[in-house]
Amino acid sequence: MTDVQKAPRTVTRKPTGGRRGNNIGAHIILSIGGFIMVFPFLWQILMSLSSTAEVTSVPPTLWPSELRFDNFLEVFRQIPFLDQFWVSVQVAVATVVGQIVLCSLAGYAFARMRFAASAIIFAVMLSILMIPNQAYIIPQYQIIQSLGWLDTVQGIVIPTIFSAFGTFLMRQFFVNLPKELEEAARLDGANSFQIFWKVMLPLARPSIGALAIVTILAAWNNLLWPLVVTSRAEDRPLSVGIASLNGQYVIDYPVMMAASLMAMAPILILFIIMQRQVMEGLAHSGLKG
Amino acid sequence: MTQLTASRSSSSSGGSTRRRRGAAGGVANPDGLWPWLFVLPTLLGLAVFYFWPVLQTGYYSFTSWGVFGGAEFVGLKNWVDLVQSGVVPRALVNTLLYTAMLLLGIPIAIYIANLLNRPGLRFAAFYRVLYFAPFVSMPAAIALVWGMIFNSQYGILNQFLGVFGIQAVHWTSTEWVALIAIGIVGIWSALGFNIIILGAGLRSIPTDLYEAARIDGATNWRQLISITVPLLSPSIFFLFVLSVIHGMELFDLIFIMIGDSNPIKGDTHSMVSLFYREAFISNDKGTGAAIAILLMLIIGILTAIQFWVQRRWISFD
């Protein structure tokens, strides 16, 4: 988006005849590539509206004879979709809120407060980023099990609200704010928490947005951890519910496509509405991480 | 109260920066115990749910677990079994192959990101949405969709290839071929993210470099190779590191696309899908832990190698 705005500045000043000719080639390549990128989604939608016979026919039925929206209703009959959707929503919201609160507090302290051994603690904390999930999942599972939290939302959420990455992301933001802001507030008699809460945190909105985006994507789409800590179908989030569709003996392909479409739609729609923020947020967090 | 603080500060306002610098002895830390209140929740959580568990996993890798729980120390037995089983080395090869395929996606991303960055290109924002959509889509869901596309009997891909006289390929039920199929999905899925990261890097390259090159008669291709790629090298390096970590942790796609009834299931594990099977299906936590620690070590080594290579090849100028 930014480069689109920036582009005219460099281009309008000079004759553009040759460049525009080149861009036609770029449009052709980008369109073909773009079609390949969205084709699976288009195909998924078409299959979700077809009959089983049409999906499994040779040669393929490109366009279903009638659009069977019944497949979407059938999803509710075959899997506890609403339960799973509700679990996913709770997990996503709780994870985002938890991470934003904890990571901005800790990130702020590491960026702008002085306390003993803060640099060493920060370095040790970052070392967790080098370690793959699998290296702590077994004991995490045992903790959740001993708390009696298997098959609960808090069991899925609690370990993931503590985030070294999120803390790092927030610290990188806070560390760049000017010192004068803080000093002015302190002169007005604000204590450290008030400075954080009233002065600094409101400025951190872009970073909080970036963290929220990364977190919501991970929370909604994560498969392994919720697969491990849940076992009853109605207590599982959509990612696990969708994954388990594959193992069934009688596979109703159109319904499977409808269910997978419904599971990913909320995040896709959110992304399309907020595309600029999502892409900038990810570029921001990616470059900082 | 405010007056008091104001007057106190005005007396020292001139040297406020110096005062902060040398605060260790003189002025007390204005933050007091606040920083500990800020960091303790996160530090405790990380200690309980991450640091201690990693150590525990390390210990578990030297233990054997009975049916009713209870760990017994068995020394290096799990580790010897890993090497001798044949399943783990195969899973490692599979995972490395998938990772290598993910890396092939980076040149594609450079090419597309460069096209998208053309000055005056219309619909760039629209294209970006198209390329980025797979990245935000639930892997479990897209794995089901691609499974249908790759279906050997009625998948659209085989039917499309059939038009050119190519015989039906058993994409997801032929050894090795299945990994290529999964790799294609992996590249497709990560492409948008790679493009976004590279796009941010591209925007920081000064445009006058390209203008100078154009005056010298450099073609677009030449500009890409001689200006864009070298100046993008920090972003490219970052994507390499991230892709390797991401690739080595392959799970969702392989878990769903290679179902339990698939005849090649036994040979087509990734390290993480094997970890999941051992630790949570077979309930052999010792072997699972050993696989996890092995994976951690391999990712560490691969990352270290990349940083070593990067020091010699990449310009951060």
Q: How far is B191 from chain A (nearest CA, A)?
A: 9
Any chain B CB within 8 A of the CB of A286? yes
pLDDT of residue B12: 39
Please give the residue range of the domain that contains residue B188: 85-313
Residue B312 pLDDT class (50, 70, 90 cuts): confident
Residue B67 pLDDT class (50, 70, 90 cuts): low
Give the residue with greater pLDDT, B300 vs B221: B300
Is B264 a member of any domain?
yes
Any chain B CB within 8 A of the CB of A173? no
Map chain A to HEC letters. Answer: CHHHHHHHHHHCCCCCHHHHHHHHHHHHHHHHHHHHHHHHHHHHHHHHCCCHHHHCCCCCCCCCCCCCCHHHHHHHHHCCHHHHHHHHHHHHHHHHHHHHHHHHHHHHHHHHCCCCCHHHHHHHHHHHHHCCCHHHHHHHHHHHHHCCCCCCHHHHHHHHHCCHHHHHHHHHHHCCCCHHHHHHHHHCCCCHHHHHHHHHHHHCHHHHHHHHHHHHHHHHHCCHHHHHHCCCHHHCCHHHHHHHHCCCCCCCHHHHHHHHHHHHHHHHHHHHHCHHHHHHHHHHHHHHC
Q: How far is A91 from chain B (nearest CA, A)?
A: 15
Single out the residue in A34, A51, A70 at which a domain terminates: A70
| Residue contact B276–A227, C-beta within 8 A | yes
Residue A179 pLDDT class (50, 70, 90 cuts): confident
Gap between the Cα atoms of A93 and A112, Å rounded: 28
Q: How far is A258 from chain B (nearest CA, A)?
A: 10
Range B24-43 average pLDDT: 79
pLDDT for residue B11 is more than 70: no
3-state secondary structure of B27: coil
How would you classify residue A39: left for phi > 0, otherwise alpha for psi between -120 and 50, otherwise beta? alpha
Same domain, A115 and A220: yes
Same domain, A206 and A262: yes
pLDDT of residue B28: 59
| Residue contact B133–A38, C-beta within 8 A | yes
Residue B262 pLDDT class (50, 70, 90 cuts): confident
- Cβ contacts of B246 on chain A, cutoff 8 Å: none
Q: How far is B241 from chain A (nearest CA, A)?
A: 11
| Residue contact B35–A114, C-beta within 8 A | yes
Mutate to test the interface with B, among A78, A110, A136, A213 (most CBs of B within 10 A): A136
pLDDT of residue B315: 59
CA angle A54, B132, A228 (to 5 degrees): 75
Residues 63-82 (A) with a CB less than 8 A from some CB of B: none
pLDDT for residue A148 is more than 80: yes
Is B57 a member of any domain?
no
Q: Tell me the CA end-to-end span of chain A in Å, nearest whole number.
A: 22
**Dihedral, CA atoms, A201, A204, A207, A213, nearest 10 degrees?**
60
Give the residue with greater pLDDT, B22 vs A141: A141
Any chain B CB within 8 A of the CB of A178? no
Gap between the Cα atoms of A6 and A27, Å rounded: 19
3-state secondary structure of B233: helix
pLDDT tens digits for range A74-127 = 999 888 999 999 999 999 999 999 999 999 999 999 999 988 889 999 999 999
| Residue contact B118–A22, C-beta within 8 A | yes
Q: Answer yes or no: are the C-beta atoms of A230 and A151 closer than 8 Å.
A: yes
pLDDT of residue A88: 97
Same domain, A32 and A84: no
With a threshold of 0.90, tell me whether the complex ipTM lies above it: no
Query: Per DSSP, which regions of chain B are E strands?
Result: 63-65, 71-73
pLDDT of residue A81: 95
User: What average pLDDT does the structure give for chain A?
Assistant: 87
Q: Which two tokens stand for residue A125?
A: 């904390």
Sign, CA torsion B248/B252/B257/B262? positive
Residue B316 pLDDT class (50, 70, 90 cuts): low
Give the residue with greater pLDDT, A104 vs B32: A104
Total tally of structural domains belonging to chain B? 1
pLDDT for residue B242 is more than 60: yes
pLDDT of residue A59: 75
Is B127 a member of any domain?
yes
Total tally of structural domains belonging to chain A? 2
Count of H helices and E strands in chain B? 16, 2
Same domain, A182 and A167: yes
- Cβ contacts of A193 on chain B, cutoff 8 Å: 34, 37
pLDDT for residue B85 is more than 80: yes
Give the residue with greater pLDDT, B145 vs B167: B145
Is A249 a member of any domain?
yes
Is B11 a member of any domain?
no
Same domain, A113 and A30: no
Please give the residue range of the domain that contains residue A47: 16-70
User: What average pLDDT does the structure give for chain B?
Assistant: 86
Q: Which two tokens stand for residue B185?
A: 């999905």
Q: Which residues pair with B71 in a beta bridge?
A: B65
pLDDT for residue B140 is more than 80: yes
Residues 108-167 (A) with a CB less than 8 A from some CB of B: 108-110, 113-115, 118, 121, 125, 128, 130-141, 143, 158-159, 161-164, 167
pLDDT tens digits for range A230-268 = 999 999 999 999 998 876 656 789 999 999 999 999 999
Is A3 a member of any domain?
no
Range A192-211 average pLDDT: 91
Same domain, A49 and A161: no
Q: Which of A128, A135, A247 sits opposite B46 (nearest CB)?
A: A128
Any chain B CB within 8 A of the CB of A255? no
Gap between the Cα atoms of A66 and B162, Å rounded: 26
pLDDT of residue A94: 98
Range B161-190 average pLDDT: 92
Same domain, A106 and A180: yes
CATH classification of the domain holding B253: 1.10.3720.10
Same domain, A167 and A282: yes
Is B244 a member of any domain?
yes
| Residue contact A43–B43, C-beta within 8 A | no
Same domain, A236 and A191: yes
Q: How far is B219 from chain A (nearest CA, A)?
A: 11
Q: How far is B134 from chain A (nearest CA, A)?
A: 7
| Residue contact B35–A40, C-beta within 8 A | no
| Residue contact B193–A286, C-beta within 8 A | yes
**% chain A with pLDDT above 70:** 89
Is A10 a member of any domain?
no
Mutate to test the interface with A, among B130, B138, B172, B202 (most CBs of A within 10 A): B138
Gap between the Cα atoms of B40 and A167, Å rounded: 12
Q: Answer yes or no: are the C-beta atoms of B270 and B279 closer than 8 Å.
A: no
Same domain, A82 and A125: yes
**Dihedral, CA atoms, B260, B264, B266, B272, nearest 10 degrees?**
-70
Q: How far is A197 from chain B (nearest CA, A)?
A: 12
Is B75 a member of any domain?
no
Q: Which of A16-30, A124-138, A204-218, B198-212 has the lowest mean pLDDT?
A: A16-30
Same domain, A164 and A272: yes
Any chain B CB within 8 A of the CB of A194? no
Is B271 a member of any domain?
yes
Residue A45 pLDDT class (50, 70, 90 cuts): very high
Same domain, A197 and A81: yes
How would you classify residue A236: left for phi > 0, otherwise alpha for psi between -120 and 50, otherwise beta? beta
CA angle A39, A44, A48 (to 5 degrees): 150
pLDDT tens digits for range A52-63 = 888 888 777 788
pLDDT for residue A218 is more than 70: yes
Number of other residues whose CB lies within 10 A of the CB of residue A45: 14
